[in-house]
A and B are shown apart, each in its own frame.
Chain A
Amino acid sequence: EVQLVESGGGLVQPGGSLRLSCSASGFTFSSYAMHWVRQAPGKGLEYVSAISSNGGSTYYADSVKGRFTISRDNSKNTLYLQMSSLRAEDTAVYYCVKSLVGATYFDYWGQGTLVTVSS
């Protein structure tokens, strides 16, 4: 059974940093691109970042470019999102997401971890 378990969320002050982790199991983690999608309270889904299966290629939404860094450790089956210079508008539930082979359709989602940026 595919499982994605996020951790690392919490309350952080504006300008602060936080690192999210996503522990994956039930599939060959190193074979799949992985993604982060977020959802602000009461709002829709926003695509944040992606990383290729070997980590060699990454993508960032304009809203987080230069502030967030996605990475992965295939030996630990873990995905990361390092977030810095956090802003109030980064407050959201952050989902770790797996995509289908060869296409960025999201077939498995974690339960999400809440990041709250507030003083």
Chain B
Amino acid sequence: DIQLTQSPSFLSASVGDRVTITCRASQGISSYLAWYQQKPGKAPKLLIYAASTLQSGVPSRFSGSGSGTEFTLTISSLQPEDFATYYCQQLNSYPFFGGGTKVEIK
């Protein structure tokens, strides 16, 4: 199985900050990676797929990059509604998720 390790697991940031979350795969997964946002009590929401493709309706302040074993999710200017937990997901074998990164207000 391919393991995904997200870092950091917890992040404290202010509105307007540039935020970067990293997801590392235990084996190369090409660009078969997605990012999800989950707010408390809600279902996850697809933000980015195929490592860098923005899902329809997702604000352009979200971007993804990377291939192989290292990927990043970047929020260019953190907004109040972006405080949430973010998960990466790989598809190279069956889909599995990273452990999550919680973004909280500083």
Contacts and interface: CB of A to CB of B under 8 A. Distances in A.
**Interface residue tally of chain B, by bracket?**
20 to 34
Contacts of A50: 94
A36 B96 CA distance: 12
Interface residues of A, number: 19
Interface string A19-39: 000000000000000010000
Contacts of B96: 47
B46 A107 contact: yes
Contact of A105 (B43, B46, B87, B98): B46
Interface of B: 32, 34, 36, 38, 43-46, 49-50, 55, 87, 89, 91, 94-100
5 contacts: A46-B97, A47-B96, A100-B49, A103-B91, A104-B95
